[in-house]
């Protein structure tokens, strides 16, 4: 008998034994490395952001350097019936980058960024982090819609729809996709756009990692910066009954160049926070004004008029710097557990509920966040891309974070679920799949896509009938 060199989790949940010769064949097909436990590079290759989502490690990690490399890895997984997952930035809260005992395709070596300022396009490899793209485009006074933590992966963000400070101006991240290069389950490298494989392109604009491995994204760019005006400003939580309605009024009147997000939290022990406020509850606004900086004072007057902040970091700064201000607020290796949804309005009932939940929150490092998104995304048809949720004007979330050994942590998820359930009666019913946790069921995925789900299932059947790509917020092929 031929000895088994490595045992890998199979698609059916059983075990597949690979011989040394078969592992050698995989290596021979790739330019990039194939890693096994204990080898140089293994710890970084399997590390993910959310410690709460950590699982049994994979058996193998491949690190492709090109689309043909990815095609070879996908083909090998299909031929041997292996569970496979795709790792971009590893930042997904559900921990979908790692498939326990399986094969991980780690895109970390594919981080090329090419900017065409004349055409206002940027091409980004699937291993890029947000900072890679933002820094490259900012040199030309251009940007696309990306998230708000610079260490997030571009791929996962985009495939789940994507939102950020520029969403009010230019829509979801997926609305700004011009083209993708993608390896589908049959191992073919395809280019998808509105005119080439249009159904596949429709599906990847929000449908997650269900349809293949995107190896390159092409985004449309917009004049932004290179400087914007923004940062953090915070007030005592004791003024929440005043500040929450003021935030609603501010959002209703804000030009699209202004994104203001409101977080109710305990102030961190940071140098910019006066010592006496460390650990105290505050109302904090995260601000990004990307319009004419000569008008910043006038536009931000409603924020300034609230008066007497405990901290004020609003200033002119480079856009990439603003994009990284929250990095330290979401450090790698902490435990994260979130429940989120979309709102079409900020009703009196919702604001009262939100204030009450924040006042009672027992999770020391939790935030109750409101992201103002309304604007460009609402002007698209509901079926323009799988992302849907065109009725969303705000995102809301009960965002838990704690250290692994924090006292009382075992009870935190239950409180977060209960709090989110109270807020859900004000929700549109939709949600952002990138913020869904691993314990959310298939019905939650269906609700995220609404009427677009059936069409997604048809595209899944056409391009991945065997559901090779299932380590995600999964969409089952039609008829299965």
| Beta-bridge partner residues of 62 | 34, 105
pLDDT tens, position by position, 193-204: 999 999 999 999
Q: Is the pLDDT of residue 479 over 80?
A: no
Phi, psi for 410 (deg, rounded to 5): -60, -30
Tell me the average pLDDT across 363-391: 97
Structure tokens at 66: 């090109």
Reduce the secondary structure of the chain to three states and give it as a string: CCCEEEEEEECCCCEEEEEHHHHHHHHHHCCCCEECCCCCCHHHHHCCCCHHHCCCCCCEEECCCCHHHHHHHHHHHHHHCECEEEECCCCCCCCCCCCCCCEEEECCCCCCEEEECCCCEEEEECCCEHHHHHHHHHCCCEECCCCCCCCCEHHHHHHCCCCCCCHHHHCCHHHHEEEEEEECCCCCEEEECCCCCHHHHHHHCCCCCCCCEEEEEEEECEECCCEEEEEEEEEEHHHHHHHHHHHHHHHHHCCCCEEEEEEEEECCCCCCCCHHHCCCEEEEEEEEECCCHHHHHHHCHHHHCCCCCCEECCEEEEHHHHHCCCHHHCCCCCEEEEEEEEECCCCHHHHHHHHHHHHHCCCCCCEEEEEECCCHHHHCCCCCCCCCCCCCCEEEEEEEEECCCCCCHHHHHHHHHHHHHHHHCCCCCCCCHHHCCCCCCHHHHHHHHHHHHHHHHHHHHHHCCCCCCCCCCCCCCCCC
pLDDT reported for residue 270: 85
Cβ 157 vs Cβ 251: under 8 Å: no
pLDDT reported for residue 1: 44
- pLDDT > 70 in the chain, percent: 99
Q: Is the pLDDT of residue 476 over 70?
A: yes
Task: Read off the pLDDT band of 54 (50, 70, 90).
Answer: confident
Task: Read off the pLDDT band of 2 (50, 70, 90).
Answer: low
Which residues are CB-contacts of 348 (< 8 A; sequence separation ≥ 6)? none
Nearest C-alpha neighbor of 459 from the set 384, 386, 383: 386
pLDDT tens, position by position, 239-292: 999 999 999 999 999 999 999 999 999 999 888 888 999 999 999 999 999 999
pLDDT reported for residue 3: 66
Tell me the average pLDDT across 459-470: 97
pLDDT reported for residue 158: 98
Report the relative pairing of strands 213-220 and 121-125 from DSSP bridges: antiparallel
Tell me the average pLDDT across 367-386: 98
Q: Is the pLDDT of residue 480 over 70?
A: no
| Beta-bridge partner residues of 258 | 289
CA distances from 209 to 204, 223, 305, 327, 473 (A): 7, 30, 45, 25, 8
* Measured distance CA(221)–CA(329) in Å, rounded: 28
CA distances from 244 to 96, 176, 455 (A): 35, 32, 39
Note if the bond before 111 is cis, omega within 30 degrees. Answer: no
What is the average pLDDT score of the chain?
96
pTM for this entry: 0.96
Structure tokens at 340: 């989120």
With left for phi above 0 and alpha for psi between -120 and 50, is residue 229 left, alpha or beta?
beta
pLDDT tens, position by position, 293-352: 999 999 999 999 999 999 999 999 999 999 999 998 999 999 999 999 999 999 999 999
pLDDT tens, position by position, 216-248: 999 999 999 999 999 999 999 999 999 999 999
Which residues are CB-contacts of 221 (< 8 A; sequence separation ≥ 6)? 115, 117, 120, 121, 122, 137, 140, 142, 143, 144
Q: Is the pLDDT of residue 466 over 60?
A: yes
Rg (alpha carbons) of the chain, rounded to whole number = 22
Residue 175 buriedness (CB in 10 A; 0-12 / 13-18 / 19+): buried
């Amino acid at each position: 008998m031929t000895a088994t060199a490595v045992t890998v989790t199979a698609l059916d949940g059983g075990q597949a034994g690979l011989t040394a010769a078969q592992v050698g064949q995989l290596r021979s097909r790739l330019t990039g490395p194939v890693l096994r436990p204990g080898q140089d590079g293994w710890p970084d290759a399997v590390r993910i952001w959310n410690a709460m989502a950590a699982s049994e490690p994979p058996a193998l990690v491949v690190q492709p350097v090109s689309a043909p490399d990815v095609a070879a890895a996908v083909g090998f997984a299909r031929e041997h019936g292996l569970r496979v997952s795709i790792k971009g930035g590893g930042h997904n809260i559900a921990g979908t980058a790692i498939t326990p005992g399986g094969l991980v395709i780690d895109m970390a070596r594919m981080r090329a960024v090419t900017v065409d300022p004349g055409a206002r396009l940027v091409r980004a490899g699937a291993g890029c982090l947000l900072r890679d793209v933002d820094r490259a485009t900012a040199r030309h006074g251009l940007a696309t819609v990306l998230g708000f933590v610079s260490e997030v992966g571009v791929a996962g963000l985009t495939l789940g729809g994507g939102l950020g400070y520029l969403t009010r101006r230019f829509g979801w991240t997926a609305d700004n996709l011009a083209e993708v290069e993608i390896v589908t389950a049959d191992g073919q490298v395809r280019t998808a756009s509105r005119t080439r494989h249009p159904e596949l392109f429709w599906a990847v604009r929000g449908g997650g990692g269900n349809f293949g491995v995107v190896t390159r994204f092409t985004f449309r760019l917009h004049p932004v910066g290179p400087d914007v005006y923004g940062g953090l400003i915070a007030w005592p939580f004791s003024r929440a009954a005043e500040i929450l309605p003021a935030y609603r009024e501010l959002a209703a009147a804000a030009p699209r160049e202004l994104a203001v997000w409101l977080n109710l939290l305990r102030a961190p022990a940071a140098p910019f926070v006066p010592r006496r406020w460390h650990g105290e509850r505050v109302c904090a606004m995260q601000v990004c004004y990307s319009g004419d900086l000569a008008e910043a004072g006038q536009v931000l007057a409603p924020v300034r008029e609230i008066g007497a902040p405990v901290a004020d970091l609003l200033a002119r700064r480079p856009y990439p710097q603003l994009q990284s201000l929250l990095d330290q607020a979401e450090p790698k290796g902490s435990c994260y557990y979130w429940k989120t949804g979309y709102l079409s309005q900020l009703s009196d009932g919702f604001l009262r509920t939100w204030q009450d939940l924040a006042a009672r929150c027992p999770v020391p490092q939790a935030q109750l966040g409101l992201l103002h998104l309304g604007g460009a995304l609402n002007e698209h048809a509901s079926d323009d891309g799988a992302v849907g949720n065109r009725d969303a004007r705000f995102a809301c979330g009960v965002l838990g974070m704690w250290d692994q050994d924090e006292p009382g942590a075992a009870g935190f998820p239950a409180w977060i679920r209960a709090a989110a359930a109270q807020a859900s009666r004000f929700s549109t019913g939709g949600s952002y799949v990138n913020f869904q946790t691993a314990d959310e069921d298939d019905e939650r995925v269906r609700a995220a896509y609404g009427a677009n789900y059936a069409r997604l299932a048809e595209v899944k059947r056409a391009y991945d009938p065997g559901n090779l790509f299932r380590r995600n917020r999964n969409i089952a092929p039609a008829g299965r």
